[in-house]
């Protein structure tokens, strides 16, 4: 038998955008056929989009999905190729997450998902029921709109495989690859040689390694071809699906698509010799297991994926012949921050049909990181436009108010930023020249339309109003005011910045002679949110936040990376600056620093954050873990004090998380998503029971910190 040309796709689907989703699926089929492929695999639930969430419970979503499938089945494009397409199907009144395998205007098989994703962001059990009958199938009676096209009344529904005249294809859905007893194992032992995997898998920093290892492992022991398709882009929520379609053969990745890209449709192909799979499987131990394996029902078809005779691939496909030396590309976490949130911001902007972004730019690290991510977005737009990407150019023209047929091409990221990105420094008498200048310099390097204003009159107006109404004039601490007065005077500055931001975001396009409005960007990072070190309804309240799921430690590394990657020396000065909110008057003896104010360093805060979110520690288990981690530098009693402070602040400020801005989901934990982080927001924040236990254990433990320091001194 000859070579097989196989493809896997990444599609930028959008939940409930049936028209757009249909067009992208069709475009991917056309590209696959042009490459000579006879099997096309698409992402999970690609017809309605993976992220429909509770809309999966609406009959409309299933109805419109069938309508789209009917159009695909009747299209010329989808003839002479096997297509594996995803949508929800109601079978005997139960909703399943399905793959529909079609060929030449017929449905061959509907394969429901058997192991659903239900952790963290995944809530498939809320909408779907898993298929509970392994290796069994039954008749599914088709809706009449499909019967009219396929002339079939009923089709097989269940856990079966497809037998072509040259090989056997088995279907796997996303999470099924992640389970210990994946379906591909039994299917492979029963002679399935090609596995398709249709995924709706989202980006988290450093996650690609897991996915790649699982795909390699799936075919290393078993032998086989694995076609991995995934959604790509922001489909209407915090998640960014990070594409990276892949093809693996016998434990090696032989083709890989982009992880982050502005492409709407990407098709990854490889030409494979199926004999390699057979050779890989000729092992006695594997044969013993295969001989005793349970059988799968085969849906028999007479078409073939290969030509049936040996032939040298043509010049156009030769380049795709599986390469033994292919190396998987991984991005460093800093690059992931530069690219993932940037692509997400682009999809959000074009899909919301707004005219750009507005960012309160303070001269500090967090809003700087947000600005650099917008810069990265502008670079991606310029690269795509310079490559001639029509859809990116059309979107850019629309959002900048250029006519559709104008000659405008956003080929320069700085010029483009000048049109769609607006930054604003909102100074008060407490602001320093340094932060103001840093904000200005950064805005200049990025090209944003920058506003530098003073808002003291606004702050004084509110302060005066309060004094007139109550007869009391609050003072800062350095002026003799109480803690409550000091805090209220700080918070009003921070909170007024939010109000001013929305005014400017709404009207800056008008000032510049354009229509529409801007989206306000927030820049509270995950650690500060967990600790509650922010003012409720200050600039942490915005429309969307690209860095809300990212820790301060990772953001600092990202800015350091940006110095060279984006050729921006100005970023150095952000890294070297002492973080301060500049909300209080500075005197010769009093300089406010965030770390002193918080009672912990940002590095310590990131460790608390990791233990709280990833390792799911309560106060006591965090204390015991940190005694092991920090015991050589801090005494158990010192660690106990820090842990108690963190939990006290976390609990006391938890109410702020109920109003945090929706943020790009970057780690396994999203502080802002209240569907995701189900916890109360009124806590006994002094945790008397828990803290007493920590104190008792800390007092009884030996202090090893001093000994280590002494030993170091003598070394
Ligand atoms: N249990 C509860 N449930 C629901 N709501 C509750 C609540 N307790 C207070 N509240 C509400 O929350 C308000 C208090 O919260 P909030 O107004 O945020 O004020 P608060 O947390 O008291 O102060 C803000 C903190 O953030 C710090 N900050 C501000 C700005 C920038 C930076 C920085 O450098 O990054 C730091 C500032 O130094 C201070 O420590 C109360 O007035 C009340 O309205
Ligand atoms: N002077 C300012 N001008 C414009 N925006 C500001 C100013 N000060 C604060 N902001 C906005 O409020 C947010 C929170 O301010 P805060 O002082 O708490 O800094 P932060 O959380 O450490 O962030 P950053 O590192 O950006 O300063 C900032 O990220 C910024 O968007
Ligand atoms: N849609 C799914 O089944 C995704 C689940 C899988 N664990 C992932 O993160 O990719």
Mean pLDDT estimate for the chain: 94
Say if residues 131 and 114 touch (Cβ distance below 8 Å). yes
Cα 216 to chain center, whole Å? Answer: 23
pLDDT at 615: 83
Q: Given the CA of residue 581, which atom of ligand 1 is nearest to it?
A: 34
- Cβ of residue 389 lying under 6 Å from some atom of ligand 3: no
Among residues 550, 529, 527, 546, the alpha carbon closest in space to that of 538 is found at 529
Q: Given the CA of residue 207, which atom of ligand 3 is nearest to it?
A: 9
113 catalytically annotated: yes
Residue 277: in which H helix or E strand, if any? helix 274-281
Question: pTM score, two decimals?
Answer: 0.94
Rounded mean pLDDT of 432-436? 96
Rounded mean pLDDT of 373-390? 98
Say which DSSP state 297 is in. Answer: P
Q: How far is the CA of 540 from the centre of ligand 3 (A)?
A: 30
624's tokens = 């015991």
Task: Give CA–CA dist 380/347, Å, rounded.
Answer: 12
pLDDT at 318: 45
**Which band of pLDDT confidence, cut at 50, 70 and 90, is reported for residue 319?**
very low
Judge whether residue 288 has pLDDT over 50. yes
- Cβ of residue 175 lying under 6 Å from some atom of ligand 3: yes
Q: How far is the CA of 535 from the centre of ligand 1 (A)?
A: 5
Find the catalytic residue in 113, 552, 556, 613.
113
Please name the residue whose Cα sits nearest to atom 23 of ligand 2: 366
Q: How far is the CA of 653 from the centre of ligand 1 (A)?
A: 7
Say if residues 684 and 613 touch (Cβ distance below 8 Å). no
Give the ligand at the shortest distance from the Cα of 228.
3
Rounded mean pLDDT of 212-241? 97
Rounded mean pLDDT of 320-333? 79
Phi, psi of 128 (to 5 degrees): -115, 160
Q: Given the CA of residue 494, which atom of ligand 1 is nearest to it?
A: 30
Please name the residue whose Cα sits nearest to atom 1 of ligand 3: 200
ipTM of the complex: 0.89
641 catalytically annotated: no
Judge whether residue 714 has pLDDT over 90. no
pLDDT (tens digit per residue) in 50-91: 999 999 999 999 999 999 999 999 999 999 999 999 999 999
- Euclidean distance between the first and the last CA atom of the chain, given in angstroms as a whole number: 70
User: 10 Å Cβ neighbour count for 685?
Assistant: 13
- Cβ of residue 67 lying under 6 Å from some atom of ligand 1: no
- Cβ of residue 204 lying under 6 Å from some atom of ligand 3: no
Judge whether residue 309 has pLDDT over 70. no
Rounded to whole angstroms, the maximal C-alpha distance in the chain is 95
Pairing between β-strand 39-41 and β-strand 3-11 as defined by DSSP bridges:
parallel
Please name the residue whose Cα sits nearest to atom 8 of ligand 3: 201
Percent of the chain with pLDDT over 70: 96
- Cβ of residue 484 lying under 6 Å from some atom of ligand 1: no
Q: With the CA atoms of 209, 215, 220 and 224 taken in that order, what torsion angle do they form, in degrees rounded to the nearest 10?
A: -160
Q: Which residues does a 6 A CB cutoff place in the pocket of ligand 2?
A: 360-362, 364-367, 424-427, 431, 497, 523-524, 528, 534, 538-539, 579, 581
Find the catalytic residue in 174, 244, 343, 368.
174
- Cβ of residue 174 lying under 6 Å from some atom of ligand 3: yes
User: Could you identify the residue written with the tokens 């965090």?
Assistant: 622
Class of CATH domain 334-598: alpha beta
Residue 212: in which H helix or E strand, if any? helix 208-220
pLDDT at 310: 61
76's tokens = 């010329």
Say which DSSP state 521 is in. Answer: B
Cα–Cα distance list, 546 to 14, 41, 339, 366 (Å):
19, 31, 11, 10
pLDDT (tens digit per residue) in 415-426: 999 999 999 999
Judge whether residue 573 has pLDDT over 60. yes
44 catalytically annotated: yes
pLDDT (tens digit per residue) in 672-688: 887 778 889 999 999 99
Q: Which fold has domain 4-319?
A: Nitrilase/N-carbamoyl-D-aminoacid amidohydrolase (3.60.110)
- Cβ of residue 147 lying under 6 Å from some atom of ligand 1: no
Strand, coil or helix: 32: helix
Strand, coil or helix: 445: helix
pLDDT (tens digit per residue) in 591-645: 678 888 899 998 999 999 989 888 889 999 999 999 999 999 999 999 999 999 9
Give the ligand at the shortest distance from the Cα of 212.
3
Please name the residue whose Cα sits nearest to atom 13 of ligand 2: 539
Judge whether residue 488 has pLDDT over 90. yes
User: 10 Å Cβ neighbour count for 347?
Assistant: 21
pLDDT at 591: 67
174 catalytically annotated: yes
């Amino acid at each position: 038998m000859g070579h097989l040309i196989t493809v896997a796709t990444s599609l930028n689907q959008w939940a409930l955008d049936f028209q757009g989703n249909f067009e992208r699926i069709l475009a991917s089929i056309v590209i696959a056929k042009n490459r000579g492929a006879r099997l096309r695999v698409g992402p999970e639930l690609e017809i309605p989009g993976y992220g429909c969430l509770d809309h999966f419970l609406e009959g409309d979503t299933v109805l419109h999905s069938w309508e789209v499938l009917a159009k695909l089945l009747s299209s010329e494009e989808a003839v002479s190729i096997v297509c594996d397409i995803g949508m929800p199907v109601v079978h005997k009144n139960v909703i399943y997450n399905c793959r529909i395998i079609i060929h030449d205007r017929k449905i061959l098989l509907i394969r429901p998902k058997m192991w659903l994703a239900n952790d963290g962001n995944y809530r498939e059990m809320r909408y779907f029921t898993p298929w509970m009958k392994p290796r069994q199938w039954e008749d599914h009676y088709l809706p009449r709109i499909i019967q009219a096209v396929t002339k079939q009344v009923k089709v097989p529904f269940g856990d079966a495989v497809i037998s072509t005249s040259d090989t056997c294809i088995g279907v796997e859905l996303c999470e099924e690859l992640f389970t210990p007893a994946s379906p591909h194992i039994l299917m492979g032992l029963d002679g399935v040689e090609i596995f398709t995997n249709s995924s709706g898998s989202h980006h988290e920093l450093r996650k690609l390694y897991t996915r790649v290892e699982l795909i390699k492992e799936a075919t290393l022991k078993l032998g086989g071809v694995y076609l991995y398709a995934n959604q790509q882009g922001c489909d209407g929520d915090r998640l960014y699906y990070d594409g990276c379609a892949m093809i693996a053969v016998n434990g090696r990745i032989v083709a890989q698509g982009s992880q982050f890209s502005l492409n709407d449709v990407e098709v990854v192909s490889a030409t494979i010799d199926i004999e390699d799979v057979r050779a890989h499987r000729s092992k006695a131990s594997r044969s013993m297991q295969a001989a005793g394996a349970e059988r799968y029902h085969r849906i028999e078809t007479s078409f073939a994926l290969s030509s049936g005779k040996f032939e040298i691939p043509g010049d156009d496909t030769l380049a795709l012949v599986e390469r033994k030396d292919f190396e998987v590309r991984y991005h460093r976490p800093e690059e992931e921050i530069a690219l993932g949130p940037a692509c997400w911001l682009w999809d959000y902007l074009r899909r919301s049909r707004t005219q750009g972004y507005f960012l309160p730019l303070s001269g500090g690290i967090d809003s700087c990181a947000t600005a650099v991510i917008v810069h990265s977005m502008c670079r991606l737009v310029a690269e795509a436009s310079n490559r001639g990407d029509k859809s990116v150019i059309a979107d850019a023209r629309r959002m900048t108010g250029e006519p559709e047929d104008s000659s405008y091409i956003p080929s320069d990221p700085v010029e483009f930023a000048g049109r769609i990105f607006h930054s604003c420094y909102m100074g008060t008498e407490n602001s320093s020249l340094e932060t103001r200048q840093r904000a200005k310099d950064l805005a200049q390097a990025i090209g944003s339309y920058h506003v530098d204003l003073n808002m003291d009159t606004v702050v004084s107006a509110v302060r005066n109003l309060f004094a007139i109404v109550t007869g009391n004039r609050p003072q800062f601490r350095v002026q003799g005011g109480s803690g409550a007065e000091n805090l209220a005077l700080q918070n009003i500055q921070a909170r007024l910045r939010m109000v001013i931001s929305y005014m400017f975001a709404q009207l800056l396009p008008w000032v510049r002679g354009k229509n529409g409005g801007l989206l306000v960007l927030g820049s509270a990072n995950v650690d500060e949110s967990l600790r509650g070190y922010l003012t409720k309804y200050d600039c942490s309240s915005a429309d969307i936040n690209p860095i809300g799921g990212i820790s301060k430690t990772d953001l600092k590394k990202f800015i350091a990376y940006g110095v060279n990657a984006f050729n921006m020396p100005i970023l150095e000065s952000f890294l070297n600056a002492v973080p301060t909110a500049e909300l209080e008057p500075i005197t010769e003896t009093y300089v406010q620093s965030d770390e002193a104010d918080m009672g912990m360093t940002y590095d310590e805060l990131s460790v608390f954050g990791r233990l709280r979110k990833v390792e799911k520690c309560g106060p006591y288990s965090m204390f015991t873990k940190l005694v092991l981690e920090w015991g050589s530098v801090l005494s158990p009693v010192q660690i106990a004090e820090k842990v108690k402070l963190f939990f006290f602040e976390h609990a006391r400020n938890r109410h702020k998380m109920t109003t945090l801005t929706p943020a790009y989901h970057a780690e396994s934990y999203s502080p802002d998503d209240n569907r995701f982080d189900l916890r109360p927001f009124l806590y006994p924040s002094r945790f008397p029971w828990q803290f007493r236990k920590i104190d008792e254990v800390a007092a009884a433990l030996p202090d090893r910190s001093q000994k280590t320091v002494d030993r170091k001194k003598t070394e």
